[in-house]
Amino acid sequence: MIDNLNTDEQIPTMRWWNNRRIRYNIGLIKAGFLAFICYALVVQFMIIPKDTNAEITLFTTLFQGIGYLFMMLIANLFYFLGPISENLIKPDNIDRFRERTFRLGYWFSFVLPFSIPVTLILINL
């Protein structure tokens, strides 16, 4: 007999998603930090013409950091799309649905901050 007590299907929807929220937020913090480093490299060394007034100062860093915290708040609101979609769709295989939905949202949220340095590179080609 197979013991199904350890499957994710036994965990209520909100508890399953809330248990992964810390991992999601750590990913957002890492992505923001790495994306800011990429942005700084693009501004300082690669793309931005020297005659522009683009520079990275303590003020601009703090301003962007506060802006990113606000965006993390919005990302956490969108995080609720996971449990909402689970309740609306009512998938047959809850384990697979949860894992795929979490990974899709996690990686989308992780890659999104890199859109700023990539956009700077593309518009300055």
| Residue 111, C-beta contacts closer than 8 angstroms, at least 6 positions apart | 31
List per-residue pLDDT tens for the chain, 125 residues long. Answer: 344 455 666 789 999 999 999 999 999 999 999 999 999 888 887 765 665 667 788 898 999 999 999 999 999 999 999 999 999 999 999 999 999 999 999 999 999 999 999 998 888 77
- Residue 51 pLDDT: 57
| pLDDT reported for residue 7 | 60
Q: Measure the CA–CA gap between 79 and 2, rounded to whole angstroms.
A: 33
- Domain residue spans of the chain: 12-123
What pLDDT is recorded for position 121? 85
* 8 A C-beta contact, residue 20 and residue 104: no
Contacts of 13 (CB under 8 A, 6+ apart): 83, 86, 87
CB 109 within 8 A of CB 31: yes
124 in helix, strand or coil? coil
